[in-house]
Structure 1
Amino acid sequence: MESTDPGESQSRVRHEPAPHFSRHSAYSNPGRYADLLADVPRDLASVCAVARNLIAHYWFASGPLPASSNDDINARWLSRILEIDQQRHGKPLQHERAEADRVQGCCRDQVLLAVGILRQHGVPARSRLGFAEYFHGDRRQDHVVAEAWLGGRWVRFDPRLEGPRETLADPHDISTALDSPFLTAAAAWIGHRQHGRSIDDLGVRLPAAEFMGRVCCTSR
């Protein structure tokens, strides 16, 4: 079995990332808010702090988020996320927002913002879908992280986390090995199909009633 996940192995063969990773996609394009992204420092600590400051995870906020902003979760494009934020605050992205006043979203949206900031600076960046073991020790929760091309390699990082966790020493430089605390969906698939790896520990586990409530709340 390879020592790194398929995406990392491919990036080493390529030596340099494909040009499109440093250009905005339709999703990461900030539109008329490009200057707001350009004003954010390009270091990962600053990028991640802004992602957490703008977007409150609707499942894992420290307290209840207002029902009046529940529809935020349907803002799938970065330009729309920034529009909602600026309608509420009209301030630079580094200016602190109260959690209840942030845009409601999830890890995918925090990663989209981080990727958008980096691409605005011309830094190749991309999202990675998979499963993280550093939230619950007995299973890998479905999650999204980001990668940036820095120092000649893809650096994997988690914008949702402010500091280390028990099974994750540095959220700004997560291992890309197959025993990484973050397993990409590609690595999980190949591990299962080619090597018989169990997939029983992958995904979110919620009580049925709670799961149905969350689905009804978030699928509008």
Structure 2
Amino acid sequence: MNSAPFRAPVALSDAGLWALQFAALPGDVAGLAKVLQGLLIHEHMADDYGIALSDRQRGEPHVRGAGDILERIAIQDARPLWQSRPPGERFAGCCRHYALLLVAMFRSKGVAARARCGFGAYFAKDRFVDHWVTEYFDAAQGRWVLADAQIDDRQRALFGIDFDTLDVPRNSFLVAGDAWRLCRDGQADPRDFGVLDMAGLWFIASNVIRDVAALNNREMLPWDVWGGMTLVDSEIDPAFIDGLARLTLEPDRHLVEIRTAYDDPRIAVPPTVFNAVLGRPEAVSPSGHSA
């Protein structure tokens, strides 16, 4: 299995000079996840940690690049990354920020890793919630492992999670292509895939595009919209998404095709994307900085 293309930090996962701090961090997934849990807090879970987000924190979920995230963390608290911050002083992000930083940390240590966009089955009963995790290559086991660095002990209890979230079962987290295939085959209901009141085939199709972009080192925000994404099922090209989904289910077998697919303007991240949460277009540089 060729994991080499996912070993080098690039674009959004490139932390730049801030990556020098990674050398002092643990080399194992449990240690790295613990570090991230002391640096980040999920923007929608502040109440569960007994805090209210500050004005500074409310803007942080829209930061894209690993270097920018780490810079903001350092400005707020210059201590080494391995020192946990109180919840009220952490960087406020979402699942994708945990996934991206874990990718950046792994890659800095020469471990192949990639962010995966899909749906988690462990947040709500009978619901697959929009979610991102990290997939890293465990050389000792000779396989790719799904790791959810966001889930700490508090969230484990809150959501009643009874499995190892650093080795997430493939039926507990579905990459977007798998969710698409299940729905297309009639084995799952598209209305069960999404977040809040947004769900359906259109949502799954958009996440397939996001996952292909992530496999091309463009791990965009979950609410960044571009190219072939739509809010209407009837505007989806099913055959197009079928093809993309097939590639993402076995990305190592289809690396050349995944790279070629990214040339399609329906998938390639343009210089400007639409931030659907803020309701505005935003210019994005190759490193993930917002202009």
Shorter-chain TM-score tier: 0.7 to 0.9
Q: Secondary structure at the match of 2:101?
A: helix
2:164 is matched with which residue? 170
Higher relative contact order (CA 8 A, sep 6+): 1
2:85 is matched with which residue? 97
Aligned equivalents of 1:198, 1:184: Cα separation in 2: 16
1:3 is matched with which residue? none
What TM-score do you get using the length of structure 1 for normalisation?
0.81
Shift of 1:167: 4.8
Among 26, 33, 36, the residue aligned to 1:48: 33
What TM-score do you get using the length of structure 2 for normalisation?
0.62
- 1:185 and 2:170 equivalent? no
Shift of 1:189: 0.9
Distance 1:218 1:64, change over 3 A: farther
2:2 is matched with which residue? 16
1:59 is matched with which residue? 44
1:110 is matched with which residue? 98
Which deviations, in whole Å up to 9, do the C-alpha atoms of 1:175-202 show, x marking residues without a partner?
22xxx11111010111222345311211
Q: Secondary structure at the match of 2:194?
A: coil
Distance 1:101 1:217, change over 3 A: farther
Q: Secondary structure at the match of 2:169?
A: coil
1:219 is matched with which residue? 278
Aligned equivalents of 1:119, 1:144: Cα separation in 2: 17
The list of structure 1 runs, each at least 4 consecutive aligned residues, that deviate by more than 4 angstroms after superposition, is 215-218
Which deviations, in whole Å up to 9, do the C-alpha atoms of 1:84-124 show, x marking residues without a partner?
01111111111121111111110000111111100000000
1:129 is matched with which residue? 117
Among 66, 75, 82, the residue aligned to 1:87: 75
Among 134, 141, 146, the residue aligned to 1:156: 146
Q: Secondary structure at the match of 1:59?
A: helix
Aligned equivalents of 1:24, 1:191: Cα separation in 2: 32
Q: Secondary structure at the match of 1:41?
A: coil
Aligned equivalents of 1:24, 1:192: Cα separation in 2: 34
- 1:198 and 2:189 equivalent? yes
Aligned equivalents of 2:130, 2:162: Cα separation in 1: 16
Aligned equivalents of 2:276, 2:7: Cα separation in 1: 35
Which deviations, in whole Å up to 9, do the C-alpha atoms of 1:104-162 show, x marking residues without a partner?
11000011111110000000001111111111113111100111100210011101112
Shift of 1:217: 11
Q: Secondary structure at the match of 1:144?
A: strand
Identity of aligned residues (%): 31
Q: Secondary structure at the match of 2:88?
A: helix
* Structure 1 gaps, min length 5: 1-14, 208-214
One-letter amino acid of the counterpart of residue 165, structure 2 = P
1:127·1:144 contact (CA, 8 Å) conserved in 2?
Answer: yes
One-letter amino acid of the counterpart of residue 161, structure 1 = I
RMSD: 2.2
1:5 is matched with which residue? none
One-letter amino acid of the counterpart of residue 38, structure 1 = A
1:167·1:181 contact (CA, 8 Å) conserved in 2?
Answer: no
